[in-house]
């Protein structure tokens, strides 16, 4: 009798737990599990969005990895942006945050000045940068030429297009600046005082006091930066289109990644394959590659962060 009562209690407890978790479970099932399972399923199907899907085995995977001419350039570009752009954004955001927490006067003005660009709509900001960095008529190159510095081709030069996108990302670093400022102001001042009494230099104070205290925020900035960069779509697309001078319309063709595929990113391929070629199966393959890469980067970062903390302890 007591066994039955215990089992019944456990069952009721489990049901209660599930009931409390149900909003999350429903959200997880609808917004994560279903799309993910669907994506895996469609990656093995031939599906044009109109006719019912048909089994195609590994054809889509073979096509994307072996025959789709944009995949490898897009993957290389995405990895370049993840490594270079995310790193520089975090370093620059932290630097600006530290600078603003240190200055005594005009903090509000500088904070506003650095934060405002982040609020600019990405399309408008990218078009403005394409204008500023126009190799023929842009003011940046005019100034560089006047002071005798060789002017790059920026968005018109495959070697300079990604650095130009990185500049654009650094300009809009206001989001990171704000969270770094909050983290920096939270570091206990007595730890700095103790370090100073121990004769720690400015670098040592940063390395052994500031960094360990703000490391969860650094990790947050890096992980969200990686995710955002994996989904980097609007800026490279607009920059490439504006710089190429070709506005897509009747009779013009989608030219991904101008110049010479250098601004091509994986999300652009999902759009190109899914919505322009009507090849949803191959689009799902690229989406899964993005998913796996995002997970891999996050796993690596989590492990590396453990090492960072130990070194700082």
Partner 1 sequence: MPIPSAARKTAFALTAAASSLALLTACTGQSSSGASDDASANTTINFWHAWSAPNEVKAVNALIAGFEKAHPNIHVNVVSNMTDDKINQALRSGGDKAPDVISSFTTNNVGKFCSSGALVDLNPFFKKSGIDPETTFPKAMNEYTQYDGNRCTAPLLGDAYGLYYNKTAFKKAGITSPPKTWTEFQADAKKLTINQGDSYKQLGFMPDYHGWETTTEHYAAQFSPTYFTADGKSNVAKDPAFTEAFTLQKDLVDELGGFQKLEKYRATLGDEWGDKHPFQTGQVAMQLDGEWRLGMAVDAKTKFDIGVAPLPVPDDQVAQYGKGYITGTIAGIAANSKKQNAAWEFVKYITTDTDAVVNFSNAIHNVPSTLAALKSPKLTYDPRFKTFLDIAANPNSTTSPASINGGVYLATIQNFGYDYESGKVKDLKSGLAATAKQIDTDIAQAK
Using CB under 8 A as the binding rule, the residues of this chain from 135 to 194 that contact partner 1 are 135-137, 153, 156
Among 13, 17, 22, 38, binds partner 1 (CB under 8 A): 38
Q: How far is the CB of 104 from partner 1 (least distance, A)?
A: 31
Q: How far is the CB of 286 from partner 1 (least distance, A)?
A: 8
Among 25, 299, 300, 311, binds partner 1 (CB under 8 A): 299
Restricting to residues 255-274, which ones interact with partner 1 according to CB under 8 A?
A: 255, 258, 260, 267, 270, 274
Q: 93 or 274, CB closer to partner 1?
A: 274
Q: How far is the CB of 275 from partner 1 (least distance, A)?
A: 5
Q: Does 20 bind partner 1 (CB under 8 A)?
A: no
Restricting to residues 197-236, which ones interact with partner 1 according to CB under 8 A?
A: 212, 215-216, 219, 223, 226-227, 230-231
Q: How far is the CB of 182 from partner 1 (least distance, A)?
A: 18
Please state, as a whole number, how many other Cβ atoms lie within 10 Å of the Cβ of residue 148: 6
Q: Near partner 1 by CB under 8 A, which window of 44-52, 81-89, 107-115, 183-191? A: 44-52
Restricting to residues 269-298, which ones interact with partner 1 according to CB under 8 A?
A: 270, 274-280, 282-284, 286-287, 290-291, 293-295, 297-298
CA distance 153 to 187: 43
């Amino acid at each position: 009798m007591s066994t039955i009562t215990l089992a019944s209690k456990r069952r009721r407890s489990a049901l209660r737990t599930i009931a409390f978790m149900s909003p999350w479970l429903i959200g997880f099932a609808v917004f994560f599990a279903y799309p993910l399972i669907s994506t895996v399923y469609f990656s093995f199907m031939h599906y044009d969005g109109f006719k019912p899907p048909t089994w195609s085995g590994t054809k889509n995977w073979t096509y994307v990895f072996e025959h789709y001419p944009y995949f490898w350039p897009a993957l290389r570009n995405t990895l370049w942006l993840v490594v270079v752009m995310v790193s520089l954004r975090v370093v620059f955001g932290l630097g600006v945050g530290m600078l603003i927490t240190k200055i005594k006067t005009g903090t509000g003005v500088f904070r506003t000045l650095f934060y405002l660009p982040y609020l600019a709509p990405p399309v408008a900001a990218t078009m403005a940068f394409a204008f500023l960095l126009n190799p023929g008529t842009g003011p940046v190159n005019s100034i560089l030429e006047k002071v005798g510095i060789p002017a790059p081709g920026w968005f018109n030069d495959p070697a300079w297009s990604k650095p130009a996108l990185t500049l654009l990302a650094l300009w809009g670093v206001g989001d990171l600046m704000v969270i770094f400022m909050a983290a920096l102001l939270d570091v206990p001042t007595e730890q700095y005082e103790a370090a100073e009494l121990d004769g720690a230099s400015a670098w040592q104070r940063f390395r052994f006091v500031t960094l360990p205290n703000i490391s969860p925020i650094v990790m947050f900035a890096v992980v969200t930066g990686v995710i955002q960069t994996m989904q980097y779509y609007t800026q490279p697309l607009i920059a490439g289109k504006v710089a190429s001078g070709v506005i897509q319309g009747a009779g013009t063709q989608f030219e991904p990644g101008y110049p010479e595929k250098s601004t091509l990113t994986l999300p652009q391929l999902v759009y190109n394959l899914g919505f322009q070629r009507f090849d949803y199966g191959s689009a799902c393959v690229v989406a899964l590659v993005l998913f796996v890469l995002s997970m891999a980067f996050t796993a690596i970062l989590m492990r590396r962060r453990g090492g960072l903390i130990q070194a700082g302890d």
